Chain A
């Protein structure tokens, strides 16, 4: 059983996950951000691997990635940082990056490093299902790593069912046709889409992301899924307040 499955055994509803960009706002902030998020009561943490050309991310996360890269962050430093908190951090970590980072680093080496850091779940938004089936399923299974797939309002039922069969963590329900950080309320169309997915009775847990930014959107989304991921809104908070006041962002959402 992986770390996310264990989490869901303990808590099935109102799960809050936070995405942050490693190496942002400062090179060495990764450990402190994780520690503060854990103390604030976040259920699992998505560790972003900054990338030069992030296609699925909006301006907020892209800018934070550029800052992190300018700070000198790279995969070796990230793995070193994560390894240093392996025994103290109790909150499940999920890695989110782009396929080219893993390709260049070396697929086996990348997987081994993740496992060494105690991580068993990855999100690679530009890894499509067909490539996963043909090239990565066996590799990830070898290392006990689960790949989280994204679904959108346009993903067919057939694909969702297939994704469901491949996932041992959760399905990332992209709230709308958007890049990350698109802000606004949850519309009736989105609610209809969430209900459709909920009614499919999938074996996987559902986490809604993209456009979730505050207590209101968190609460609404949690009516239709096991929890949500907040990214851009948190990155903005980090950018404005640094690592000291993470509590001020998290507490109003989960209280």
Chain B
């Protein structure tokens, strides 16, 4: 199993748990218990029940006929946008809130970029009656106002991160700093990032996406394997979930799409695999954008959820081993793709998901090539950006 982490949480040279001593007991407790909890019958029963009756899974695998016609392939959309709370994020928060409960935790903290993970965390905290604090960059609070309002309505406290670039990276720093001062809290990380075991735990919880994909493709095409899976990557949780059951099957092409912002070489980008180098960020060794002295470079993307200077260690490994092809899409290309999907399929995608769609015109397909695009979330939260750019 080449793409499973080692005992210490390494995917090749990437991963590990680079945490201050203050966090050691928390992370160790999680590491010692997460697999037992995830694999227990009690967890599985409750998790699956909630996914079906609360989240609304399985999410449909939709054959997008007009999109297929346009790009000369057989394109399916995995409709994570139809989940409760509007994105794939809830698959993970439902799972982790159960893990937190098994560990006896009552207070939850989380970080969020676009607000989708914050909303998903606030939602499961409301569901379970747990106290919730969400850290969010000051800039993201402004550009994702509807999600901030949702979190507050759900009873969460939203704390603005005012340091650095005031976006996702800084929200994560603030969450970790709070965690250091409040070791009794459970840190519900929203992506396949952070110290081991978070990347593996989140990937396992998001793996429901590829698990369903297999059954749905089998039912709809007779073959459980697509030729190609495309997903956007910020930290990389929706991509990890969409790729998970296909990682070891090298006949399936995996395409990870990063946010190029104003262009990969514009100085305003979040295309980590192109611009990054090996380093340590937020507790794990991975690829990250940094200067020659190891200072973390502030990323840029129109999409708050992709505005992150690193990727999860699994993705760093997929990039290094060339198991996944890493492409990127600019702000403009993502906007164009979002307008296109809205017009020809009647689906308004999240800006993050629009990056995945934006590589369709850049790829060459055979007519019968089965392509799955993971439509990670819906675009309601991005309406203001869409409207503003439509008028231009």
Contacts and interface: CB of A to CB of B under 8 A. Distances in A.
Q: Do A and B bind each other?
A: yes
Interface stretch (B252-260, B290-298, B318-326): B290-298
Given A53-B173, A104-B279, A178-B180, A154 B22 contact: yes
A99 to B, nearest CB: 5
Interface string B70-103: 0000000000000000000000000000000000
Interface stretch (A145-153, A187-195, A224-232): A145-153
A62 interface: yes
B218 interface: no
Nearest to A78: B293
Interface residues of A, number: 38
A117 interface: no
Contacts of B17: 128, 130
A220 B136 CA distance: 39
Interface in A121-176: 125-128, 130-131, 149-152, 154-155, 159, 174
B279 A179 contact: no
Contacts of A6: none
Contact of B294 (A55, A105, A174, A178): A105
A62 B174 CA distance: 12
Most chain A CB neighbours (cut-off 10 Å) among B8, B25, B169, B281: B25
Given A52-B164, A104-B290, A152-B22, A99 B177 contact: no
Contacts of B25: 154-155
A100 B180 contact: no
Interface in A190-229: none
A103 B279 contact: yes
A58 B183 CA distance: 16
Interface residues of B, number: 34
B176 interface: yes
B320 to A, nearest CB: 16
Contacts of A81: none
A125 B294 contact: no
A128 B21 contact: yes
B281 A155 contact: no
B342 interface: no
A74 interface: yes
Interface string A36-78: 0000000000000001110110100010001001000011100
A101 B21 contact: no
B224 interface: no
Interface string B5-22: 000100000001111111
Contacts of A58: 177
Contacts of B173: 53, 55
B20 A56 contact: yes
Contacts of B176: 55
B18 A105 contact: no
Given A62-B163, A74-B293, A99-B18, 4 more contacts: A55-B282, A56-B20, A56-B180, A154-B25
15 contacts: A52-B164, A52-B296, A53-B281, A56-B177, A56-B180, A62-B163, A76-B293, A100-B280, A103-B294, A126-B20, A126-B280, A126-B283, A128-B18, A128-B21, A177-B22
Interface of B: 8, 16-22, 24-25, 163-164, 169, 173, 176-177, 180-183, 277-283, 288, 290, 292-296
**The 4 nearest A-B residue pairs measured at CB:** A104-B294, A52-B295, A101-B294, A100-B294
